[in-house]
Structure 1
Amino acid sequence: MKQPKQPKRPKPPTPARRQLKRALVFGATGLTGHHLTEQLLANKNYREVICVNRRPMGINHERLTEIIDDYSHLENLKIQQSINDVFCCIGTTIKKAGSKENFKEVDLELPVAIAKLAADKKAGKLLVVSSIGAKAGSGNFYLRTKGEMEKEVLRIEGPLKTIVRPSMLLGERNEKRSAESIGQWLMKPLKIFMIGKLRKYRPIQAADVARAMVAIANSQPTTQVIFESNDLQEIANGG
């Protein structure tokens, strides 16, 4: 039986020269953002990790600075320190948001506002969590919104931008998402059959997404702007 052709693996990011940096994280109370914050604090390249959250994280660390803000006026956010890397892990569901309009405020308008803030702060890099299948012209409202967000973020001049598109996220959330839990239960046994072009649809641990984001942020600049879920898994596994 002829084996399906395997897609080309992404080249692992080339580590950049070590430097003490300052990270700014939005959405650190979410699944991916929480893992990201923990990994940034464990990474010796960062002298300080600043998290802007709507509610306290419940983490105490000497290099963690937490700002409680409702995100309504990010242009007025007072951050005196210089920022090297900005991470946007903002995301919700239509059910939790309550309406499509509210969903767009969180998943489109907020990341764009964060990208503008990163530009104003003259940050070196901006990494934004999107979704697999994101496409501005999609017939699916969720994927269309994510695609429009990507398009708007990439238009903003300033920091080197990276879009990460994870597939279904695996991990324990503080909040319950019934549909997501069912999806995880269904997808896990099917993972081994997702080969070739289907590899990017394999579910991925949120901790691995975070690990890949930290690796990308601490690598030398490349021409690759969008990292699909299988790219993230490769990087998280060490290339």
Structure 2
Amino acid sequence: MDNRLKLNPESKTTRLADHAEGAVTREEAEAAVRVLLRWSGENPEREGLRDTPARVARSYKELFAGYEKDAGRELQRTFTDVGGYSDLVLVKAIPLYSHCEHHLVPIIGWAHVAYRPNDRVFGLSKIARVIEIYARRLQTQETMTAQIARAIADYLNPQGVAVLIEAEHLCMSMCGIQKQGALTTTMALEGCFAGNAAEQARFMTFVRQN
């Protein structure tokens, strides 16, 4: 198995385990939430907010669980008994929830992932799992798109990979320019999809079909 993933998709986002010396306790995290509540003009001791710091700390462990997971481990298992199939495998409209690394507000959208296998395939749930791993981190959409494509390319070694993400960034919808409903589209192409207009058009045609 080609293990290049350790040098590529993980380069921008460091796992929490790498920061064990500076690990933050739950108590410290809850105290930080209380500070933010006070800074916003609220009273963290009032009844409705008394348990909010603990709830936020718990939710952050879930929302950013991708730091504690390894895409390579999820993608290690593949299947070779595919009857010689080598055409497009597409999983589209996979719901995606992430958080903007600039504002800590949600990114909500869909991922469409396709690959052309050489001699082996993933179980379909693995594609959704690798999306979840990278989405459950502080992200930019561009980085996340590239990470997903590179992970699949490195661990499956297919003929090619195509990843398309369409998402609404609530930092743009709720604050700043406040343009609700604007979608950002990013694409990463590997192998036979890169520089091949016919393969790209075929991928987009399948993605846009109802």
TM-score where L is the length of structure 1: 0.25
Which structure: larger Rg? Answer: 2
TM-score where L is the length of structure 2: 0.27
Relative contact order, higher structure (CA 8 A, sep 6+): 1
